[in-house]
Amino acid sequence: MARSWYTYTGGSVETPSNYSRFTGVPTCKNGPALCAIYAPNGGPNPSVISDTIQGYISAGLATSTAQPALPVGSRLFVRLKSNLA
């Protein structure tokens, strides 16, 4: 299944309509706030926020680290940012 990057626009992290498709790869990586997710392509919004991505979001927000953090060099599915805006 094709995937795209989607930036988080606010609201529930589990709701696909709270993300907007992003062209390219976001430059954000680590911080206390959710920045973007790499999710199944659903057009302007992801088609689904899987349980796996929801787990990565939870882990990322708890550690302020892009996910998955291990193994080192893994493809990132969740990126965070340093500011809350």
* Band of residue 33 on the pLDDT scale cut at 50, 70, 90: very high
Q: Which two tokens stand for residue 37?
A: 């997710």
* Distance, CA of 1 to chain centre: 17
The phi, psi pair for 30, rounded to 5°, reads -125, 150
The answer to pTM > 0.75 is yes
pLDDT at 84 over 70: no
* Band of residue 52 on the pLDDT scale cut at 50, 70, 90: very high
What local confidence, expressed as pLDDT, does residue 55 receive? 97
Alpha-carbon distance 49 to 14, whole Å? 6
pLDDT at 80 over 80: yes
| pLDDT average, residue stretch 57-67 | 97
* Band of residue 48 on the pLDDT scale cut at 50, 70, 90: very high
Which stretches does DSSP call E strand in the chain?
3-8, 19-22, 33-40, 78-81
For the stretch 21-31, pLDDT in tens is: 999 999 999 99
